[in-house]
Structure 1
Amino acid sequence: MSRPFTLLQLRYFVTTARLGNMTVAAGELHMTQSALSSAMSQLESSMGSALFRRIPRRGLELTDAGRRLLDQCLPLIEEVDQLPAAVRGDEASMTGSLVVGVYEPLASQDLPRLLRRFSELHPAVDVHLLESDQESTRLALLDGLCDVALMYDMSIGGDLTYETLETLPAHVIVASDHPLATRGVRRVSLRELADEPMILLDLPSTRDYIQDVFTAAGVSPKVRHRFRGYETVRAFVGDGHGYAVLNRRLAHGYTHNGSSVTTLDIVEAVPAVQVVLATRTGARLTQRAREFRALCHTYFAGAPE
């Protein structure tokens, strides 16, 4: 025998799952925490299963049952939200929200243009962004905190399904007055840099990938500085503190502190990374997520906007 639950409870559940904190979710929903907690308890009773784990000092985490419910109710809520447009005969107009996770190095270059175009196509969709490192983005997607994620294929795991959008070979950057930058050859062997200091982009998964690049070349880098900021790495390289290995090529060589860097291709056969659009394996994508996926393929294929 089915137990009753309401669409409003499902909306509360989606918001609580996205924010991972009962107090924050209650504030966004303009209700008291006790009322939201009661609604979630009633929903758990209706579903016959716990939907959240309470983690001390961290907030809430979805259970496996909670993830399954989230995957199922997002398209359901979307269909309900589209009913008024369907009744008016205006089925082309999409509403609702879309949460996009993004790995930090991709956020500043690709995402602004992507979201501008998406907003032009679907102005009534409210887009939220979760920018983080690769591992945190992966976990946010697994926990249902975002619908889709733009990330690299590094350490992505079997719980996510992904589609390749772009291939990014590894390259070296050096200061523009470095001898390797002024010799007129835009290629370098990592062996030529073996004795020079390196500036490492020290993010989870990224650091492992960069180590794989050096392992493939048979070189052990001498790391001088470790930074989590992409532009911080570029600034230190531009100021002559060392070289760096990166993947995302910028359209210019300038850095935030006014120095400049030069990009050099790597002679050795080293692994590249793929820019991917990832989703939870088995998740039913909303129409909003499907439209964003289609736009990503168009954008990265270089088709006219």
Structure 2
Amino acid sequence: MRYTIRQIEYFIATAETGSITLASERLSISQPSISTAITHLEQELETQLFVRHHAKGLSLTPAGRTLLVEAKLLVQQAEYMYTLASEVNDKIRGQLSLGCLVTLASMIMPELSHSFTSAFPATKIAQTVSNHEELLEKLERVELDTAITYNLSVPDGFDFLPLASLPPHVLVGEASPLARHSSISLTELVNEPLILLDLPISREYFLDLFTALGLKPMITTRSPHQDVIRTMVANGYGYTLMNVRPRSDMAMDGRRVVRVPLSGDHKPMVIGVVSLKQSRKSRLVEMFERHCQSFISDAYIPGMVAPVMGRRKITK
């Protein structure tokens, strides 16, 4: 065998990004190094892996798509050698493929990942950010070891370790008359313009809050991007419902948003760690789950105002 695991990793990164430039940024490796590695692989395997498009990046050939699947399996097997060695030596090491729900990632992942790799210096975390459905699919395909998401629609075949509960609340702009309320009900909101977080599972969760009361909200805008929604709310386009509560009350344009408690008894979203059910988890995954349990709770969530800190007495 006259190719290396490193060259295979360069091939995977280029295939997933469709660009040597983006692969270079992802891996912090120079573009010539990646280009040379791919050329070497193509020569060694006597197979064209990519079609080069002028000014439009790269696309995989049929052979390249087939070999990409095998390349990922090869890297996983190589990483598994580290896992086995760590279990034999009782040392935590290796790379953890970690997914995180897109609405949680910007707040939770930086501090959580840094604290884990600081506690276990021989580990690395490869992060994937996606929506709930895609995270479950990647876990099923063994592209991820574990993921941080909500407890909504977790099917049989998965384990879910709960960490913290996030009740829903209303988010409005600073100038909105609703911002002066001590709390507000869904009935009072039903004729107000709703800017809906349009992500799989999340949108169903928020709409079900209304359906449970026989209400139908007035949806004026939908977006899968949380920051876009916060900025629209801050500019007076309407209100939104959220579970996460960032420590900053500023939208991306510097305008302020205000959190108003939602009166009534509503099902919270529960943050947790989800993984495939299996007879035995690797020691690396087990230690990461323990770290999450010690690091995330109702009393503390990285990047957020924790539930116990954000609760106010609701009189309505």
Q: TM-score scaled to structure 1, two decimals?
A: 0.74
Q: Structure 1 residue 285: deviation in Å?
A: 2.2
* Residue of structure 2 in register with 1:205 after alignment: 201
Q: Structure 1 residue 154: deviation in Å?
A: 1.6
Question: For the Cα contact (< 8 Å) 2:102–2:129, is it kept in 1?
Answer: yes
Q: Distance in 1 between matches of 2:84 and 2:122?
A: 15
Residue number among 221, 225, 244 corresponding to 2:221 in the alignment: 225
Aligned Cα root-mean-square deviation (Å): 4.0
* 2:93 is equivalent to residue 95 of structure 1: yes
* Residue of structure 2 in register with 1:159 after alignment: 157
* Residue of structure 2 in register with 1:78 after alignment: 82
Alignment of 1:16-35 (within 5 A): 30=37, 32=41
- Number of residues paired by the alignment? 271
Name the % identity: 26
* Residue of structure 2 in register with 1:275 after alignment: 271
- 1:168–1:242 distance in 2 versus 1, CA, 3 Å: same
- 1:79–1:151 distance in 2 versus 1, CA, 3 Å: closer
Misfit runs of 4+, over 4 Å: 18-25, 33-38, 56-63, 72-76, 302-305
Tell me which amino acid in the other structure corresponds to 2:194.
M
* 2:115 is equivalent to residue 106 of structure 1: no
Question: For the Cα contact (< 8 Å) 1:19–1:145, is it kept in 2?
Answer: no
Question: For the Cα contact (< 8 Å) 1:199–1:243, is it kept in 2?
Answer: yes
- 1:291–1:188 distance in 2 versus 1, CA, 3 Å: same
Q: TM-score scaled to structure 2, two decimals?
A: 0.71
- 1:59–1:164 distance in 2 versus 1, CA, 3 Å: farther
Question: For the Cα contact (< 8 Å) 1:22–1:36, is it kept in 2?
Answer: no
Alignment of 1:139-288 (within 5 A): 139-183=137-181, 185=182, 187-282=183-278, 284-288=280-284
Q: Structure 1 residue 132: deviation in Å?
A: 0.7
Tell me which amino acid in the other structure corresponds to 2:112.
L
Q: Distance in 2 between matches of 1:146 and 1:209?
A: 25
Question: For the Cα contact (< 8 Å) 1:142–1:159, is it kept in 2?
Answer: no
Q: Distance in 2 between matches of 1:196 and 1:23?
A: 41
Q: Structure 1 residue 272: deviation in Å?
A: 1.3
Unaligned runs of 5+ in 1: 1-5, 39-55, 64-68
Tell me which amino acid in the other structure corresponds to 1:32.
L
- 1:266–1:34 distance in 2 versus 1, CA, 3 Å: farther
1:122-149 per-residue CA deviation (whole Å, 9 max, x = no partner) reads: 1221210000111111111111111010
- 2:212 counterpart SS class: helix
